[in-house]
Amino acid sequence: METNTAILLSIIIPLLAAICNIYIKKHPNLRDSITLISSILTFLNVCIILYNVGNNTTDTMILFSVASGLTISFHVEPLGLLFALLASGLWIVTHIYGVGYMRKNKEENHGRFFACFSLAIASVMGIAFSSNLFTLFFFYEALTLTTYPLVAHKGSSEALKGARTYFGILIGTSIGLQLIAIIWTLVIAGSLDFTRGGILLGKIEGPLVALLLFLYVFGIGKAAIMPFHRWLPAAMVAPTPVSALLHAVAVVKAGVFTILKVGIYIFGIDFLKESGASYWLMWLAAFTIIAASLIALTKDNLKARLAYSTISQLSYITLGMALATSMGVLGAGLHIVMHAMGKITLFMCAGSIYVATHKTKISEMNGLGRLMPITFVAFLIGSLSIIGLPPLGGSWSKWLLILGAADRNQFLIILVLILSSLLNVAYLLPIFVKGFFLGKKDNTPHKSLESSTLIWLPPAFTAFCCLVLFFVADDILLFLTPIVSLE
């Protein structure tokens, strides 16, 4: 299949799935199978693109032109392809989990839920393959709009309040700051195309570079840099599959992906390095890493703790870009994958615990591990990967980030990264420990609380993937190398 057709199909298939979800009301099994098939097809499509293109960059395909200079157009480049692979692959896993979760938990409005889910995936595919900032902005906003009903899904006043925060911050930052940054870029550079080496070199200088970067970084609210991080914990009112795929993988990664794209293809790493414009961002990211970890420590609600952990981990990626070295950027790219795999495992485990016991508080989970061994072992593996211990995927990205910081002689940043790992240990491992070693022990055999296969298998699978990622990290790095080399 032609690559361009495959790009379009990877957006169209989820769209079709969304339409099926709205119209097939009476046959839930049929509806969910169609979505499953769509997710597999989407993934295969992205695989075909991978097979066709490898880690090259394809020519831009202009879908249509909105006005002169503003086009909706797509291309394939390594970072975007990696993101698309990740999102579409994990969609399959999350869909299976989501069907189990929504049914077991007796949630309502399945059709609307899965329709919005598919629409969100279509938007993510658009973001991944966009070849200019306008296209990216278009799909970025579409992603915000399509995920809003998912956060407000329950319709309770708490859900509405959370959804309002979610929508307010994401739309507010994107229209208030990002849009201005994009138009400013267009005015000074005359183009919005993602170009290797950036398009701003020589067009802007001095403190204005830092100002433009400021507008971008805060305008991309999805990257959850403090102080615009409040939407992420607020979004935790959504059903867990949403938290798992969207708020650990798709939406937040769309945010940091956008930051990386802007850093690499709009500013250009060398330009950032020479102008020193990203220096402040490095410290802000470091601050977010530590502050969010500290807040996570205080949270007793498991999903809230994971949300703050996500905020902290996202800033690793922003930090990698702000370091403006090849190592840093590669580490950031790699961390997108590693963190996604680890965090989705943790969220799915949290959802499993909720479905089985309706417990959300960590302090109530004493002894649960003995009843749900698979879930808790998967949770342990995910935690270790987030902490960054070998032999799990997360160790590589942290290693590269530390190397990047060493390149820039930022030893304080190295300290921050190490301290953050220790904090990760402090807020993630107690959950496992409580589950297995605390609580009253009785020797009477008890019934396992693991729910249906649909619910425990997906986190077990992603936990296994965390392990596999440790061994293929090198290949992923090799795959990503073109984004930092200038031919």
Partner 1 sequence: MSLEAPHNLAFSLSDHLPILQVLIPFIAAPLAVVIGNRIIAWWLAFISSVISLLIATTLLGKVIDGSVISYQIGGWAPPLGIEYRVDSLSALILFLVTLVSTIILPYAYKSINFEIPKEQHTLFYAAYLLCLTGLLGVAVTGDAFNVFVFLEISSLSTYVLIAQGSYRDKRALTAAFDYLIMGTIGATFFVIGIGFLYMATGTLNMVDMSNLIKGQESLSTVRSGFVFIVIGIGLKLAIFPLHFWLPRAYTYAPSAITAFLAATATKVAVYMLLRFMFTIFHPNFLSKISIFEYIILPLAIMAMFSASVIAVFQSDFKKLLAYSSIAQIGYILLGIGLMSETSLTAAVIHIFNHGITKAVLFMGIGAYVLQGRGSFLSDLEGIGKVMPWTSAAIVVGFLSLIGVPGTVGFISKWFLVKSALEIGWWPVAIAIVLTSLLAVIYCWRVIETIYFKPLLSKKLTAETPISMLLPIWVGALACIYFGLNTEAIMTTSQMAAKSLYAGSFGSL
Residue whose CB is less far from partner 1, 161 or 361: 161
Which residues have C-beta within 8 Å of that of residue 446, sequence separation ≥ 6?
370, 371
Task: Provide, rounded to whole angstroms, the least separation between the CB of residue 232 and partner 1.
Answer: 19
- Burial of residue 46 (number of CB atoms within 10 Å: 0-12, 13-18, 19+): buried
Min separation Cβ 484 and partner 1, Å: 30
Tokens encoding 406? 């060493």
Please report how close the Cβ of residue 180 comes to partner 1 at its closest, in angstroms. 6
Query: What is the Cα–Cα distance from 285 to 228, expressed in whole angstroms?
Result: 12
Residues between 413 and 452 that touch partner 1 (CB under 8 A): none
Examine residue 1 and tell whether it contacts partner 1 (CB under 8 A).
Answer: no
Whole-angstrom distance, CA of residue 141 vs CA of residue 398:
31
Task: In angstroms, give the least distance from the CB of 71 to partner 1.
Answer: 11
Rg (alpha carbons) of the chain, rounded to whole number: 21
Structure tokens, 84: 């698309």
Output the smallest distance, CB 62 to partner 1, in A: 13
Binding mask 139-178 for partner 1 (x = CB under 8 A): --xx--x------x--x----x--xx--xx--xx--xxx-
Q: Judged by CB, which is closer to partner 1: 64, or 487?
A: 64
347 binds partner 1 (CB under 8 A): no
Is 180 an interacting residue with respect to partner 1 (CB under 8 A)? yes
Closest CA to 455 of 179, 20, 165, 100: 100
Say whether residue 190 binds partner 1 (CB under 8 A). no
Exposure b/e, 428-447, CB count within 10 A at least 16 = b? bebbbebbbeebeeeeeeee
Closest by Cα among 115, 332, 346 to 248: 346
CB of 378 to partner 1, least distance (A): 34
Check residue 54 for interaction with partner 1 (CB under 8 A).
no
183 binds partner 1 (CB under 8 A): yes
Question: Which parts of 60-79 interact with partner 1 (CB under 8 A)?
Answer: 64-68, 70
The DSSP result for 296-357, as a single string, is: HHH--BHHHHHHHHHHHHHHHHHHHHHHTSHHHHHHHHHHHHHHHHHHHHHHHHHHHHHHHH
Question: Measured from the CB atom, is 163 or 356 closer to partner 1?
Answer: 163
Residues 87-146 that bind partner 1 (CB under 8 A): 134, 137-138, 141-142, 145
Tell me how far, at minimum, the Cβ of 186 lies from partner 1, in Å.
Answer: 7
Does 210 sit near partner 1 (CB under 8 A)?
no
Closer CB to partner 1, 71 or 275, in the complex: 71
**With respect to partner 1, which residue has the nearer C-beta, 177 or 476?**
177
Cβ distance 71 to 12 under 8 Å?
no
Residues in the chain, overall count: 487
Within a 13 Å sphere around the CA of 30, how many CA atoms are in the beta-carbon half?
7
| Residue whose structure tokens are 């003995």 | 370
| Residue selected from 26, 29, 187, 485 as contacting partner 1 according to rule CB under 8 A | 187
Q: What are phi and psi of 410, to 5 degrees?
A: -100, 80
CA distance 127 to 16: 18
For residue 78, what are its two tokens?
A: 């390594």
Instruction: Find the part of the chain contacting partner 1 (CB under 8 A) among 124-132, 179-187, 447-455, 465-473.
Output: 179-187
Q: Can residue 19 be called a binding residue for partner 1 (CB under 8 A)?
A: no
CB distance 284 to 225 below 8 Å: yes
Which residue has 């086009």 as its token pair?
Answer: 71
348 DSSP 8-state letter: H
Taking the least distance from each CB to partner 1, the nearer of 48 and 186 is 186
Residue 179 or 389 having the CB closest to partner 1: 179
Q: Which residues make up the interface to partner 1 (CB under 8 A)?
A: 64-68, 70, 134, 137-138, 141-142, 145, 152, 155, 160, 163-164, 167-168, 171-172, 175-177, 179-180, 183-184, 186-187
